Each structure stands twice: as structure tokens, then as C-alpha cells.
Amino acid sequence: MRPLFHPSIEDVTVEAILHALADPVRVAIYADIVAQDCPQNCSNFLTVSDKAVPKSTLSQHFRILREAGLIRSERCGVEMRNISRCTELEQRFPGLIRAIVTAHTIQSADEARARMPAPKRPARRAATK
């Protein structure tokens, strides 16, 4: 089995981070990983934003996140466990990851509200004379 590539923190660039998080599925995956205190298995993300993600596509998303320096992955049997490199990234680019994850959270909440049906208002009665 081929070893996993993890760039050193000095080799991580803002451009690589922004490219990796430009995809809506990847940013949703990353926001979920950041929100957890423990490593997350790839299989936890077979459904992202209410959409099924094929395993092969999911593998590519995790590879891009890993090679951008956003996550650290570790093989555990047949599973892959992933954890955010937030602490390292915060030292290299203070506030960047927090700003991106916060913006994603705001955007997701806005999109969820937009999908909700508008509350029905009672019909107005015509004034009687």
C-alpha cells in the first residue's frame, strides 16, 4: 500500500487551501471534521449535505484535503481516519480557517432557511360595510 502524502506545514499555501475548499462537498466535509474533537472515518461522509457521495469520489475529496494540508489521515485497518490540522494551520495562517468555517456555517444556514417553505398567512377578510 502506498504511503499517504502529508505536506509539512511550511509547504502549505493559502492557494492550496482555497482551492481545496472551493468545492461545496469538500468544505462541508472539512467543516464537519473541524467541529469534531476526534478523528472521523471517511465512511461517515457517504452522505454530505443530504446528497450521496460515491466512495471513489469521497476518496478523491479526502486526497485533495490531505494534500492541501488541511487534514491528517491515518490508515486503521480498512478504514481511513481523518483529523483537522487546525492547530498547525492557525499558527501558520492566524484566523484563516476559522473565518472560512464560520463563513461556510453562515452560508449553510442561509441555504437551509431558503429551502424552508414560507409560513402561510391567514387570508385577509374583505371589509364589510
What is the model's pLDDT at position 49? 79
Instruction: Kindly state the average pLDDT of the residues 18-24.
Output: 96
The pTM assigned to this predicted structure is: 0.83
pLDDT tens column, 46-91: 888 788 999 889 999 999 999 999 999 999 888 889 999 999 999 9
* C-alpha span between 48 and 22 (Å, rounded): 15
Is the pLDDT confidence value at 27 over 90?
yes
Concatenating the DSSP letter of every residue in 46-71 gives SEETTEE--HHHHHHHHHHHHHTTSE
Instruction: Kindly state the average pLDDT of the residues 27-49.
Output: 88
Q: 17-54 burial by CB neighbour count: b if 16+ within 10 A, else e?
A: beebbeeeebbbbbbebbeeeebbebebbeebeeeebe
Ordered structural domains, the chain, with CATH: 9-104 (1.10.10.10)
E-strand stretches of 1-129: 40-41, 47-48, 51-52, 71-76, 79-84
Rounded mean pLDDT of the chain? 89
